[in-house]
Amino acid sequence: MTEPSAPAPAPTDPLEPWPDTVDWRPVSRSLITVELINRAIWVVAILAGLTVGWVLTGHWSWPTGMAVVLVFAAWRSVVTVRAVKAWGYAERDNDLLVRHGLVIRRLSIVPYARMQFVDVTAGPLERAFRLATVQLHTAAAATDAKIPGLPPEEASRLRDRLTALGEDRAEGL
């Protein structure tokens, strides 16, 4: 006589559903470079404005502002590296899982049947590094999900698959 199998253990972390059963895919590490270049452009623009203010007034607060901008940019750069590594997505039979965040972690579960449309975007800097962003839109704005830093081939594949699954499983649309 065989013993009944034990039920699957319940997840211990609400942000890590079904441990060891989800095949998480990371985003491209090139996204780190894109984000850092984007930040550097903004920092240079802000520092240029602060420098003009310092040259025109000579007041001590302008260099202090410059130092604050540099310290903040350095801190955000370290956080950006870790944040990009926290992005992940997983395709399952009936839904797409997207996770991201460091301090405030977020797990979005988007059922294919609830998707209305899928956007693929790539700005000039993303295109230079061969990256794209896939944005899923649902009827409820709170359940929209975005996956940045995908190679264009993967973004196209994911777009086509999500669109096909969304049409296939559409609930009354």
Percent of the chain residues past pLDDT 90, beyond the cut: 55
Given a cut of 50, whether residue 173 has pLDDT beyond it is no
Half-sphere exposure of 161 (CA within 13 A, CB side): 14
- Closest CA relative to residue 75, chosen from 64, 86, 67, 87: 67
CB 89 within 8 A of CB 24: yes
Cβ count within 10 A of residue 113: 17
Cα–Cα distance measured from residue 43 to residue 59, given in angstroms and rounded to the nearest whole number:
20
* Top-confidence residue, 8 or 113: 113
Question: Each residue of 33-47: pLDDT tens digit?
Answer: 999 999 999 999 999
SS (H, E, C) 4-24: CCCCCCCCCCCCCCCCCCCCC
What pLDDT does residue 172 have?
Answer: 42
Nearest to 148 by CA among 34, 38, 37: 34
**Backbone phi, psi, residue 105, to 5°:** -85, 145
* pLDDT tens digits, 88-118: 999 988 888 999 988 888 888 888 888 888 8
Q: What is the mean pLDDT of residues 62-75?
A: 96
Tokens 């590296």 correspond to: 81
pTM of the model: 0.79
Residue with the bigger pLDDT between 54 and 144: it is: 54
Q: Is the pLDDT of residue 168 over 80?
A: no
Residue that wins the pLDDT comparison between 11 and 102: 102
Helix, strand, or coil here: 121? strand
